Every structure is written in structure tokens, then in C-alpha cells.
Chain A
């Protein structure tokens, strides 16, 4: 008795030859599959890398951020009074005022951050602090020539000399950042010298941040919003998951359509039924026909999945890719520095493959099974009529 082996070289060669007999439908199926894998994998990889960026960002962010609010929106914070009051709360560490805001610049909005000697502790040692009239640019600003002055427009329009760039290791939050001298930033944002945008605080343990919120709110004489880095991270991750989920759900009709097309291409057609009938009459068994069917599918799906996965990866991580920052975050300029761990990349690629391959395989198997159970005499007679 012959031992059964799934892989049969002449049958694989015949499957390839068979695809060559209908090159248009084979090519169409390949393109559809590759496109679906690209889209699904792109969404999954983007979700994974944004999650990772959020986690890294949260690790660099202060434990607590206090912002003054009014019915009209956020309001500047009087620095001296705010510092004095929050320091009365036990457990609060390193309270520091921050000056930042969004202004118009070349190509769109830019996030301006004001720093002075007081911020030196958080500042990279090899990057000099900007002096008056000087600007340091985030990753997005690398396309701007340092020889030209940088014009920014907030409450006032000011020109700056670009003296350098922030290191690539800077947080993604500073991707579209412009770091200015504190006084310049205050002028640009229309803040007085004793005002700040918000107050950043640290705590001994992460768990304390949540518990300190009511204490902080009670010592400040204005309405404030107090955000913990954990809460911010949770919000961002939820948002990423929700958007990723919706995007993936929007692909379900496309996946179903693909499965139906595969099933229809494989099983319907009078010509296919006749051919299956002839092959059975010539001694092909149901198992042979099923294998032929699966080989044909694998010969299309294998390269399509590989091409689709590679395309998704390159679309996201190829050097010079700017569309993520531009389309999703509306950030101008250079590529958003996205990263993935090996595990996340493998997980995203694998899940992308599975989400497309499962309905494809089911449709393939179903149409193959139709060939297996087909009555040869009936399909031959049908063709003769």
C-alpha cells in the first residue's frame, strides 16, 4: 500500500500549470489577497507600534500634570502661587512649571516648548539649551535648513535661528516640537513672565498619583484638571485599540467578499465541473482533486501573504516614511520615529496573515470539497448536452 504524502511534486507542478491556464483570475486573486494582507497587517503593525510609542512616552512623562481650566478652556497658571500651594501636599516631588503650546509654523502646526536653566536636570547633557532667539527642532523639523530663519506665529509672530535638532531618541511627543528659550516661548504664546501652561509633578510611587489628585485639587484656588501618566496612557491605549478594532472590522466585508470569490472561482463554472468530471474518469481520486485545489490556493496565497506582509512593513517602517505622521497625526515634515519589538512585529505579521488566510482557506477547502463530492458522469454528461 502506498504511503500517503500531502506533497506530491507532479501534482504541485500541475497546480502551477493550471494557474497559468487562467492567468487573469490567478493574478486578480493574488492582487486582492496581497492587498488585503497589506491593509490588515498595516493596521495591526501600526496599532502595535503606536502602543509601544505610547508606553515609551508615558515612561518619560511626569507622573502628574496639573492644568488650570476655565469655562472658556485652559488658562495660564500663576507659577509662584501654584508652586507654593502644591508643595504643601505631602508626597509631591519636583513640581515644575512648563511652558508649551501649539503655534503655526512652516508646513502646519508646531508644538513650542520653552526651557530655561531650571529644566537642565531633564535636558540631554550633549544638547545646549537654546538662548534667546534660538530654536532647536524635533525630528519633524529635520527637513528645514538651519541657514534660514524659522518663523512662528502664536499670539505674536517671531523669527528664530535654528541652532540644532533634538536627538532622535527624544520622545515622540517632541516629534513636531520646537524648543525655545523660556522667555521667547512666553512671548510667542502670549503668557506673562510669571505664568506657565501647566505644572508637572512627580510622586514616590506610581500608585500615589491617583490618590493625590483630590489633595492637589483642594489646595489650588482655581478649577484644575489633573491627569496622571497612567490615566493618559490608558486613554491612549484604549483609543488605539478602538481605532484598530474599527479599522479591522471594516475589512470584514472585504474578507467575506474575497472568500466568496475564491469559492465561486473554485466550484462554480460549468467548465470547472466538466474538468473535475474528466479528471475523475481518468483515475484522479477525491483526495487528489482536493490537494490540487489546495496547492493552487497555496501557490497564490503564499506569495501574496509574503508580498502583503512585506509591503505593510515597508509602508510603515521604510526610511523616509512620512504618511503616518502626516495623515494620522497631521504632523509635518520628517518621518515619525515608530519602533516595534521583535515579538510585537512577529505577532502583528502572524495575526495579519491569519485574519486573511483563515477565510481564504475555508473558502478554498469548501470549493475543493465540492469537487471531491461531484459526480463525474453527471458533469461530463452536462458538458456533452
Chain B
């Protein structure tokens, strides 16, 4: 259990209304690699990402991060763990009444020691994602693709060790996909652990992902 990265051990999650969504998941998502999880809508991909991000607690089993069993940690410890996670939600969850730049900077606001560097980093990320001219625009005025890229920039800011992305390419055209994949490749190159949940065939065809899993009927199966 000392491997760097994320791991699921006998991870089970039951809905509050009953019914097992995830059933004894066994998987390892090592650092320096990008992993893709595919599955039908409602298979539990988002729930698995929320469990990996420490937002949800499993019914049984455990999530391990860098050899530490993080799922049962107390709230203050889990908060510290979440500071190492960058996440893109399926529904993006951008603040619609603040600018794009402010949205991207949001994860770094409570950490003044990182502040001077992240302002430049945020602008650079927005530039690379084709949003440089829109940094003062609020998300409400942007297209779905632009909003999604802004959410990706927010996840990448501060170079988190663990990057968890839920359908990050759903609204992207083919031209933008390359840019997104390029950023994820950089993240893995810097030793980050990237886990992407998607049923986008364009991602499934990408060379970036060294590990691929399929989630079906509560079980996570490794694809060849």
C-alpha cells in the first residue's frame, strides 16, 4: 500500500435510497500515469471520482492515497488531503457571477504563500486553453466548451498531485481536445496522478492513457 498514487481496496458504495452502486472496487492509479475510466451513464463514474476526491465516504472498503488510507480520516485531515486534489465536475460548478480568472484562482485563495505565483500561472493556463481574452468575462456569458476549459484550468491551478476529471471533453470540439490532452500529459509528466472518467470515444482513442478501466454493474474491470 505504499505505492505513490491512488488505490481502491474493496471499495463499496451504497445509495442512501438502497442499492449498491460500486461493489468491491479494486484498482490502482499510480502517479505519473493517466487512467481512463469508461462506462455507461449512471454506472457510477462520478461517484467513484467523488470517493477518490474525499468528497464522499465509502460504505465499506478504502481509498488509499500515497499509501495512506484517506477515506476514514477526520474532517480536518480530509480537508488537507483535498488540497492536493484538482477536480473537474461533470456539472462544472463554476461561480457564474465572478470572472473566469477569479474562478480559476479560487482553489488558491486560502493559501497566501502560493498567491504571487498562481496569478501568473492562472493567466498562462487560460491562455493555453484559448481563454486568455476572456479572463474578465463571467462564465454565464461563455459557451459550454469554454466553461469546461475554465473548469479544467481551475483543476490544474497550483499543480495538484491528483487530478480527477469527470467528462472533461464533453463539450469540446476536435481542435480543442488536443490542447486538453496536452495539459494532462504535462501533468502526468510532472508526476501527477490523472484519473479521467469519460465515455467520449475521442479520449478512448487517445494514446495518453496507459491504464483503462470499464465500470459496469458496480465493478471496475481493467481493459486491455
Write the residues of chain A forming the contact surface with B, with a CB cutoff of 8 angstroms: 2, 8-11, 14, 17, 21, 274-275, 278-286, 288, 291, 376-377, 380, 383-384
Contacts and interface: CB of A to CB of B under 8 A. Distances in A.
Contacts of A275: 95
A275 B94 CA distance: 9
Contact of B110 (A11, A21, A384): A11
A10 B80 CA distance: 19
A2 B110 contact: no
B55 A21 contact: no
Size band of the interface chain B makes with A: 20 to 34
Interface in B102-147: 102, 106-110, 112-113, 115
Contacts of B75: 286
Given A376-B55, A380-B93, A384-B91, A285 B110 contact: yes
B79 interface: yes
Nearest to A5: B112
Contacts, number: 69
Interface of B: 50, 53, 55-56, 75-76, 79-80, 82-85, 87, 89, 91, 93, 95, 97-98, 102, 106-110, 112-113, 115, 154
Secondary structure at the A interface, as helix, strand, loop or mixed, is: helix
A283 B107 contact: yes
B82 A281 contact: yes
Contact of A284 (B76, B89, B110): B110
Contacts of A285: 76, 79-80, 83, 110
Given A8-B110, A8-B112, A281 B79 contact: no
A274 B84 CA distance: 21
Given A10-B115, A282-B87, A288-B110, A17 B76 contact: no
Contact of B55 (A279, A380, A384): A380
Contact of A281 (B53, B84, B97, B115): B53
B89 A283 contact: no
B110 to A, nearest CB: 4
Contact of B82 (A14, A283, A380): A283
Contacts of B82: 280-283
Nearest to B82: A283
A282 B95 contact: no
Given A10-B109, A282-B87, A283-B83, 16 more contacts: A9-B115, A10-B110, A14-B109, A21-B97, A274-B93, A275-B95, A280-B82, A281-B55, A281-B89, A281-B93, A282-B107, A282-B154, A284-B79, A285-B76, A285-B79, A383-B93
